[in-house]
Every structure is written in C-alpha cells, then in structure tokens.
Structure 1
Amino acid sequence: MKSRWHLAILVLLAFALVIGAGCAKKKTTSTPPGAQVEVKDDTKWAPPPPPEEPKVDEAALAAEAEARAKAEAKEELTSVTIHFAFDSYELDEEARAVLALKANIMRRYSGFRVVIEGHCDERGTEEYNLALGERRARAAYEHLVILGVAPERMSIVSFGEERPANPAHNETAWAENRRDEFVVQ
C-alpha cells in the first residue's frame, strides 16, 4: 500500500513539474531605450492600373444601326398597302399619304428596288381585272415618280384577281382585295 502511495505522489509531482515548465515566462528582447530603429522598404509598389474600359467600335455600331434602320425601312415599304374604291384606280388622300412615306424611304435608301403589284377583287372578267390591276399599279408608280423616286428603281405587275388577300366572297373581302402591294427586291 505504501508503494501505491509513493507511486501516486511521484506521478503527481511529475505532472506538476510538466505543467510548471510549460507555463514558465519566456524572456523577450526589446530595443534598448534611446536606440533608433531604421526600417527600409526595398519593394517597388505601384497601385494596380485602372480596369480598361471595353473598347467600343464606333464604326461597327454605326453600321449596325444603319442596317437596323434599313431593315425597318424595308419592312415599312412592304407592310403597308394602299386600297382602292370599286372599279377605280384613283388614289385617295390616305393612299397619297402612304405613297409620300414610301417615297421618303426610297429617296433615303437608294439601293431599294420596288415591284408594285396591282390587285383586284373577283368581280369582273379576268382580262378586265388584269387591266385594272395594271392601272392601279401604274397610278402608284406615277405618283412615286412625281414625289422624286427614280423610275428605273420601280416596276409594275398586275395579278388581277389571282392573289386575293381575303378569299371570302363578301364586300369586306372585296375591299381588302382591291389594293397595291409593294415588294422590295
């Protein structure tokens, strides 16, 4: 029993010694008072360059804008048709306004060539409707020439009653079919 007590005391002493040695104060050295400390920095530091702004190709942007404007102008030329009264090829005020818009576009974009297609409703003979469709297309052609569009940039064709916009057989459909359409080439 005595040996157990001796062993326990010995273990406790060894443990106390290990803990005491680990917690001992460490000595530090400091510069004596009054001594000057000189710090030298030999690194060459410069602030990072500012991020580059993306380069904008002004010519490409202008070309893209011009191409978009040209596509919109082409759509405007082809999307709007003019209509006529029954058995007539006279241009009303609305048709003249539409043709003025088309003339402005054609003067601005000299590369456009236009085919003016004359159409009729189904009433009348085939020969009569072909002739009336041609007179309708020619009326638009001549008005555009008066507004300053070069005649060599336009051509006319008559489809008569062959290509109806609305295949129904009533007054509403016939009014839609009496028209001039414009096709850009």
Structure 2
Amino acid sequence: MTARTMARTGTIVTVAAMIALAGCAKKKPAELPPPPGPASDAGNQGPVGSGPVGNGIVPGSRADFLQQVGTDTVHFDTDHSDVNQEAQGILTAQAKWLVAHPTVRVTIEGHCDERGTREYNLALGDRRATAAKNFLVSAGVSADRLSTLSYGKERPVAMGSDESAWAQNRRAVTVVPQ
C-alpha cells in the first residue's frame, strides 16, 4: 500500500467511526415530565386485588384519596415554605389516609407563582414539597413512600398576574397514582 492509500483508508475509517458515534449521541431529555391526568379519574384500577366498593371508587386510588381527604393541595404565603395552620389540617388528613393505605407511594410537587427567577422558584418549590413531606413523616407516614419534585413556576394552575392567581400557584400537591 502506498502512503496515499493508507491515508485515504484512515480517513474513511475515521469518518465511518464518527458517523457511527453520532448515531449513539444522547438525546436531550424533556425538561419536564408530562402533567398528571385529571384528578377525578375514578374509573381507574387501584392496587392489584382491589376492586370498586359500593360507590365505584377503588380503595387506595386517587379518587378515594380525594374523596376521603377533600384536597391534594396545600397553599403557602409569598416567598415562604412553612406549613401554616390551614395546611397542617389538610396534611393531617392526608397523613391519616396514607397511614390507612400503607402500600400507596406518592409524589409531592412543589409549585410557585410566576414572580422570581426560574432558579429561585425551583428552589422554593423544592422547599415547599420538602416541608409537606416532613410534615407527613412527622405524622407517621414512612419517608420511603414519599418523593418530592419541584416545578417552580413552570406549571401554574391559575393564569394571570394578580394576587388571586399567584395565591393559587403557591402550593404543594400530593399526587396519588391511579
């Protein structure tokens, strides 16, 4: 082989390797997972072996949680992550339900209003979710059944730039799977 043929072969091998590796490049993950389905899906199946009871709601399901507890959401004051008296009442009811359903695992989402930077709101949302989790743990729920996730200001429930919308968006949501 001549030097020119060897150089050409080396170039072809290098280009082929680069093409092969380009196909293996990691794809950029989505920034946020898709939102959960509607909170009122009462027809979904619950844990294996369970079935609907008299009212058609599966014990241990999201619909059962909402019916028994009343709400999956607690609200916070501006720039705060402390659990106020109203939130304590709601979280106490959630803890009672979770203790009664020891196989159910939940995710607690932290949310903020639109004000502030993305980074600040992600951190504040994390503090809110963690505060709700810590309250549930102190009320007897096993910490390994609770995970937290912060969305910051990325998933508002109320659109608008006024106190009413902001107050609705400053929250922690306990998400019970179907």
Normalising by structure 2, what TM-score? 0.64
Q: Cα deviations across residues 73-97 of structure 1 (Å, max 9, x unaligned)? A: 3334684310000000011111000
What does residue range 47-126 of structure 1 map to in structure 2 within 5 Å? 64-65=52-53, 68=57, 70=59, 71=61, 72-76=63-67, 79-126=71-118
Question: What residue ranges of structure 1 are gaps of 5+ in the alignment?
Answer: 1-61
| 2:147 counterpart of 1:155 | yes
More off after superposition, 77-86 vs 89-98: 77-86
Q: 1:78 to 1:165 in 2, by over 3 A?
A: farther
Q: Cα deviations across residues 97-141 of structure 1 (Å, max 9, x unaligned)? A: 000000000000112111000000011111000000000000000
Larger radius of gyration: 1
Q: Do 2:114 and 2:166's aligned partners in 1 also have CA atoms closer than 8 Å? A: yes
Q: Cα deviations across residues 28-86 of structure 1 (Å, max 9, x unaligned)? A: xxxxxxxxxxxxxxxxxxxxxxxxxxxxxxxxxx9643873614433346843100000
- Size of the aligned set, in residue pairs, is 124
| 2:164 counterpart of 1:176 | no
Q: 1:182 to 1:78 in 2, by over 3 A?
A: farther
Distance in 1 (alpha carbons) for counterparts of 2:175 and 2:125? 15
Distance in 2 (alpha carbons) for counterparts of 1:176 and 1:138? 19
Q: Do 1:165 and 1:176's aligned partners in 2 also have CA atoms closer than 8 Å? A: yes
More off after superposition, 66-75 vs 129-138: 66-75
| 2:153 counterpart of 1:166 | no
Q: Do 2:72 and 2:175's aligned partners in 1 also have CA atoms closer than 8 Å? A: no
Distance in 2 (alpha carbons) for counterparts of 1:183 and 1:80? 7
Structure 1 vs Structure 2 CA RMSD: 2.1
Percentage of identical aligned residues: 42
Q: Do 1:78 and 1:182's aligned partners in 2 also have CA atoms closer than 8 Å? A: no
Q: Do 2:74 and 2:90's aligned partners in 1 also have CA atoms closer than 8 Å? A: yes
Q: Which amino acid aligns with 2:110?
A: G
Q: Which amino acid aligns with 2:65?
A: K
Distance in 1 (alpha carbons) for counterparts of 2:84 and 2:73? 13
What does residue range 22-61 of structure 1 map to in structure 2 within 5 Å? none
Counterpart secondary structure, 1:169: coil
